[in-house]
Amino acid sequence: MKLTDTTQGAIWRNFLPQPSVPLADWLEQTLNLSNRVKVTLAYTIARSVWQYYDSYWMTKPWTHENIQIMKETISDRNQIRPHPYFTTKLHKCKDQKVDYCYADDLFHLYPGILALGVVLVEIATKQPFRPGRPHYIWDETTINEYYEWAWTTANCSKLGSTIGAAYESVVNNCLDSELFRHGSINPSKSDKDLQTRQSLLYEKVVLPLQELYHAYKDDWEIQDISRSVLTLTRNFQGWKPLS
């Protein structure tokens, strides 16, 4: 699945004949990213999470592993431009879509929103979170580890001064579980509460990033080891770009 593309351009893209790479690997391979690139990636991914939040695409949180990057060359400008995609295996699932996790001593109730906050911190700092063990199941331990890393890294990185106060506020909103909690957890109202959180996600995360995206006017400076271009996403039968 291709994430919603925030950039304008021709339908035919000049992608390099290379396989996509996970977002984490791309961030580590990239020597330098301008703030405009960081904000554009953050906005593209956040808008896609919001768009697909009330769907089976969000049954598993989006992380730097299932977000893939493909590279595009902008020949007339000699630029590199990354395009994010989401890769997953969709199964026919009859279970009700549930976006929360409830357990004792849980730092954050909504794994999908927390995962977005983690990705935004990773993009801003170019520092992917590499836990000591693989996180295949989003249990209490996994959620708390992600939360602690994101909160500590965001506060130490001073995102307000490096990228902007709006970006810092968006990250804080993603990490604020209570912001998205609409009353008490009630399974009988899960669909309504999910839609409420989707609306809050747009208001508190997507819209501020959209305004920041339009405010940035610096160039698309991307310097990676190979000086090449990336783009990302795959669906259960192939690649699917993020909205």
At 141-168, the pLDDT tens digits run 889 999 999 999 999 999 999 999 999 9
Domain membership flag for residue 3: no
Contact 79, 224 (CB under 8 A): no
Domain membership flag for residue 178: yes
**Per-residue pLDDT tens over the stretch 45-54:** 999 999 999 8
Domain membership flag for residue 5: no
Q: Between these two residues, 134 and 179, which has the higher pLDDT value?
A: 179
Cα Rg of the chain (Å, integer): 17
Domain membership flag for residue 130: yes
**Residue 138 DSSP label:** -
Domain membership flag for residue 4: no
Q: What is the largest CA-CA distance in the chain?
A: 56
Domain with 163 in it: what CATH number?
A: 1.10.510
Range of the domain at 168: 21-241
**Per-residue pLDDT tens over the stretch 54-94:** 888 888 889 998 898 887 776 555 566 777 888 766 555 54
- pLDDT number for residue 125: 95
Domain membership flag for residue 167: yes
CA–CA distance, 30 with 221 (Å, rounded to integer): 11
| Domain count within the chain | 1
